[in-house]
């Protein structure tokens, strides 16, 4: 049989971009042959550009955009890549399957949900709703009578999640890192079974189900595996080092059943999410799992000065595992990173504030300055000093917007509108009514949950008789509010649905139940503005509950991000960059974290966290540590030990900065929190 080769002509614009915008190593990765490819991308090496150009190259070769799966770890990253892709290949870029693992799982599971015992309109539980159902399953398993001794529902919930994501059984986890739960294993397994049953009955999935049921779908239904293998001719995984066993097994199963085209992109030295179940071996062992795969190294840093890159490279050399690093900078010379010892945490905060203001005076916007720390509580003293000085700042480690209680209340209304069988949301709504506790809420849901029209069932005499007499008036008003909510056609007009909630009895609940009620109601008004961008309530709810990268921010005195200093944990800073970066509280037991270094592999994980921290800086990097500390803000002051990540650095790669302490006159002294 003759072999016919079909040649595609690459658009001149894309060919020019490949030639002009990429260095030699980037171009080799972008134009790699089909098969299994590993792209090791050091900090600032143009990883996003390479992934985007790789997808554009595949489309130019004739691969349909809808046959490409691009999995990222944040919605922001997916949006950025698709936007860049549009500039290269046009509007067809929107056809690429781009999104987080959970978002892709949500999209895939909708149509074949019935195969798994669900209906296509299933709703997604967030963490609090999930815990609510686990508590009920905990009671189902008979543990409520042994409450003082039994493992708590939240501990069991974490075990269930960890087991699913790491592909371990509950017995494996109990036998390994949780031996104190060995006597309770049969009951824990009963809780897990009851929890799964309750989710199916309520037509709800939690975040983990979006991954676990996706894998179950392709494992137990060969037609589904074949369909996905035929659909996804090329799979690209961003941040491979942050994947867990469940995620990798899913995409590698699909790739193996199909064309065998899988491109993994990441940096093993930036693997810092082991506590979430991320498996370091997913990237480290990639060449072993796929013999004959190709490895491409991106080691030219376009972000940082040579001095910062040299310190970054040196910071990771003490780790015994990992791919060898040969990082270089494409930029001109800059300042050596500075290491500064302060007298205590108050002077450390004082120093940071002064240096931040000095940078601003030198025309560096506050939004281009960040303070990084290993633990959120290490920022408290600094925040006090920032407030005292009136320096606007934001905290990136706060609650997600949709995890705030008043937002979750409104989401519960909306979720019931989409899925009237959503037990967790019904319970949240019913518990807002005075005189209705958990038992009464469960009894009420029992009367309406199985009805074809739960809203109508709420108004029946049987349901009304189950409500305490003193609550019936408020209950009747609540029923009326729910009817008005549905009358807005919330599925097509989610913004109108939120406004209907605000016009009902819920604002009175906010004023009675929460602090700063007017601020919360203003939040909800802005929520309605956000919702107006969506043409489907189902889509709004799914995207909000999958928005793992959207966080609320506590800002002071400014609404313009360019004028706001950033405070963030290193974990939240991953993937970001700033002109000037301060890494504070670099002492033993804090950075590295005491508990982490006592776990197997903990020392290397903590060193990778330090590597991520120092590689965020573009122009200036300052590392600080207090020489003395007190525990809990009181008690004797003790000398602190500088972090091992400082003492093991080559001394020629940084400069020791000496503080010139000019003391103010006594009458000008400002109070320092608790000192």
Q: Would you say residue 488 has pLDDT above 80? A: no
Q: How confident is the model over 190-220, as pLDDT tens digits?
A: 999 999 999 999 999 999 999 999 999 999 9
Residue 263's pLDDT is 98
Q: Decide: helix, strand or coil at residue 471.
A: helix
Distance CA(55)–CA(599), nearest Å, equals 39
pLDDT at residue 670, rounded to an integer: 40
Give the whole-angstrom CA distance, residue 511 versus residue 58. Answer: 55
Res 564 pLDDT > 80? yes
Above 50 in pLDDT, residue 667? no
Rounded CA-CA distance 251/95 in Å is: 19
Q: Are strands 628-629 and 638-639 parallel, antiparallel or unpaired?
A: antiparallel
What is each CA distance from 326 to 272, 297, 389, in whole angstroms? 20, 9, 42
Burial class (CB in 10 A: 0-12, 13-18, 19+), 86: middle
Fold of 12-109+210-298: Rossmann fold (3.40.50)
Q: Which pLDDT score is estimated for 530? A: 74
What digits encode the pLDDT tens for the residues 42-66? 999 999 999 999 999 999 999 999 9
Q: CA-to-CA distance for 259 and 252, rounded, in angstroms?
A: 11
* First-residue to last-residue Cα distance in the chain: 86
Residue 456 has what pLDDT? 86
Higher pLDDT: 108 or 401? It is 108
C-alpha distances in Å from residue 319, one per residue of 151, 286, 314, 325, 573: 37, 19, 10, 11, 22
Q: Answer whether 12-109+210-298 and 328-399+552-657 agree in fold.
A: yes
138 close to 147: Cβ distance less than 8 angstroms? no
Least confident range of 169-178, 563-572, 661-670? 661-670
In the predicted model, is pLDDT for residue 621 greater than 80? yes
Q: What is the pLDDT of residue 551?
A: 31
The least confident of 24-33, 104-113, 391-400, 624-633 is 391-400
The pLDDT of residue 608 = 96
Q: Residues forming the annotated binding site?
A: 41-48
Domain range list for the chain: 12-109+210-298, 124-202, 328-399+552-657, 402-550
Pairwise CA distance, residues 300 & 297, whole Å = 9
Contact 367, 541 (CB under 8 A): no
Whether the pLDDT of residue 272 is over 70: the answer is: yes
pLDDT of residue 631: 63
Highest mean pLDDT pick, 80-84, 395-399, 593-597:
80-84
Higher pLDDT, 534 or 640: 640
Residues 173-181, mean pLDDT to the nearest whole number: 83
Phi, psi of 206 (to 5 degrees): -95, 180
Q: Please say if the pLDDT value at position 466 is more than 70.
A: yes
d(CA 348, CA 672): 12
DSSP structure class, residue 587: B
**The predicted structure's pLDDT at residue 403:** 67
What CA–CA distance (Å, rounded) separates 272 from 243? 11
Phi first, then psi: give them for residue 578, nearest 5 degrees: -140, 160
How high is the pLDDT of residue 147? Answer: 61
- What's the pLDDT at 4? 59
pLDDT at 54: 97
Rounded-to-integer distance, Cα 425 and Cα 415, Å: 7
Supply the CATH classification number for the domain 402-550.
Answer: 1.10.486.10
Q: How confident is the model at residue 535 (pLDDT cuts 50, 70, 90)?
A: confident
Residues annotated in a binding site for ATP: 41-48
pLDDT at 370 over 50: yes
DSSP 337-387: PEEEEESSHHHHHHHHHHHHHHHHHTT--GGGEEEEESSGGGGHHHHHHHH
Q: Which fold has domain 328-399+552-657?
A: Rossmann fold (3.40.50)
pLDDT at 384 over 90: no
Within 13 A of 58's CA, how many CA atoms are on the CB side?
A: 31
CB count, 10 Å around CB of 224?
18
Going by pLDDT thresholds of 50, 70 and 90, the confidence category of residue 599 is: confident
> What per-residue confidence (pLDDT) applies to 663?
56
d(CA 480, CA 483): 5
How does the average pLDDT of the chain come out, rounded?
88
Percentage of the chain beyond pLDDT 90 is 57
Collapsing DSSP states into helix, strand and coil, what is residue 583? strand
- pLDDT tier for residue 666 given thresholds of 50, 70 and 90: very low
Tens of pLDDT, residue by residue over 278-317, are: 888 999 999 999 999 999 999 999 999 999 999 999 999 9
Higher pLDDT, residue 567 or 451: 567
Residue 630 has pLDDT above 80, yes or no: no
Q: pLDDT band for position 549 (50/70/90)? A: very low
Between CA 652 and CA 134 the distance in angstroms is 55
Report the SS3 class of residue 293: coil
Percentage of the chain surpassing pLDDT 70? Answer: 91
Alpha-carbon torsion 370, 376, 381, 385, what sign?
A: positive
Q: Helices then strands (H, E): number in the chain?
A: 31, 19
Integer angstrom CA distances of residue 72 from 100, 214, 240, 549 = 5, 17, 9, 11
For residue 674, what pLDDT band results from cuts at 50, 70 and 90?
very low
């Amino acid at each position: 049989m003759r072999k016919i080769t079909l040649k595609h002509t690459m658009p001149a614009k894309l060919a020019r971009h490949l030639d002009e915008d990429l260095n030699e190593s980037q171009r080799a990765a972008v134009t790699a042959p089909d098969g299994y490819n590993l792209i090791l991308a050091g900090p600032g090496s143009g990883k996003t550009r390479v992934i985007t150009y790789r997808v554009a190259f595949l489309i130019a070769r004739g691969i349909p955009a809808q046959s490409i799966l691009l999995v990222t770890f944040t919605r922001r990253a997916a949006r950025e890549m698709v936007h860049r892709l549009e500039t290269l290949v046009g509007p067809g870029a929107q056809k690429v399957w781009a999104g987080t693992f959970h978002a892709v799982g949500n999209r895939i599971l909708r149509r074949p949900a019935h195969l798994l015992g669900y209906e296509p309109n299933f709703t997604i539980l967030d963490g609090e709703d999930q815990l609510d159902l686990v508590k009920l399953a905990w009671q189902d398993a008979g543990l409520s009578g042994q409450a003082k001794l039994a493992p708590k529902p939240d501990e069991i919930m974490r075990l269930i999640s960890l087991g699913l994501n790491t592909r371990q059984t509950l017995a494996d986890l109990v036998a390994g890192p949780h031996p104190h739960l060995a006597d309770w294993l049969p009951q824990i397994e009963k809780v897990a079974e009851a929890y799964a049953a309750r989710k199916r009955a309520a037509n709800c999935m939690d975040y983990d189900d979006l991954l676990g049921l996706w894998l179950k779908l392709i494992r137990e239904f060969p037609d589904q595996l074949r369909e996905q293998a035929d659909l996804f001719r090329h799979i690209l995984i961003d941040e491979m080092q942050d994947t867990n066993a469940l995620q990798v097994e899913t995409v590698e199963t699909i790739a193996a059943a199909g064309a065998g085209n899988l491109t993994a992109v990441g940096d093993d030295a930036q693997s810092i999410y082991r506590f979430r179940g991320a498996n370091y071996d997913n990237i480290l062992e990639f060449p072993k799992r796929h013999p004959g795969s190709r490895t491409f190294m991106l080691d030219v840093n376009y972000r940082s000065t040579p001095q910062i890159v040299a310190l970054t490279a040196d910071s990771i050399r003490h780790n015994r595992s990992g791919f060898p690093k040969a990082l270089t900078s494409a930029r001109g010379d800059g300042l050596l990173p500075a290491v500064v010892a302060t007298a205590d945490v108050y002077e450390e905060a004082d120093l940071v504030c002064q240096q931040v203001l000095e940078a601003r005076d030198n025309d560096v916007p506050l939004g281009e300055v960040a303070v990084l720390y290993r633990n959120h509580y290490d920022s408290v003293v600094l925040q006090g000093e920032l407030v005292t000085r009136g320096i606007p700042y934001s905290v990136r480690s706060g609650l997600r917007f949709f995890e705030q209680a008043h937002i979750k209340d409104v989401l519960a209304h909306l979720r019931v509108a989409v899925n009237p069988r959503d037990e967790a949301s019904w319970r949240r709504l019913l518990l807002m009514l005075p005189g209705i506790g958990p038992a009464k809420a469960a009894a009420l849901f029992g009367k309406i949950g199985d009805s074809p029209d739960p809203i109508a069932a709420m108004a029946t005499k049987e349901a009304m008789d189950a409500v305490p007499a003193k609550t019936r008036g408020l209950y009747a008003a609540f029923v009326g509010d729910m009817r008005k909510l549905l009358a807005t056609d919330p599925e097509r007009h989610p913004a109108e649905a939120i406004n209907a909630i605000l016009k009902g009895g819920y604002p009175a609940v906010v004023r009675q139940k929460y602090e700063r009620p007017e601020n919360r109601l203003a939040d909800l008004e802005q929520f309605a503005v956000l919702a107006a961008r969506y043409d489907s309530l189902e889509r709004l709810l799914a995207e909000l509950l999958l928005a793992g990268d959207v966080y609320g921010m506590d800002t002071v005195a400014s609404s313009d991000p360019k004028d706001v200093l950033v405070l963030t944990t290193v974990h939240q800073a991953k993937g970001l960059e700033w002109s000037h970066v301060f890494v504070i509280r670099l002492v033993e037991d804090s950075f590295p974290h005491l508990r982490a270094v006592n776990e197997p592999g903990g020392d290397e994980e903590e060193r990778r966290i330090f590597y991520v921290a120092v590689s965020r800086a573009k122009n200036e990097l300052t590392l600080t540590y207090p020489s003395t500390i007190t525990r809990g803000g009181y008690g004797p002051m003790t000398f602190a030990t500088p972090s091992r990540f400082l003492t093991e650095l080559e001394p020629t790669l940084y400069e020791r900065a000496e503080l010139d302490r000019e003391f103010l006159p006594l009458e000008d002294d400002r109070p320092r929190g608790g000192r």
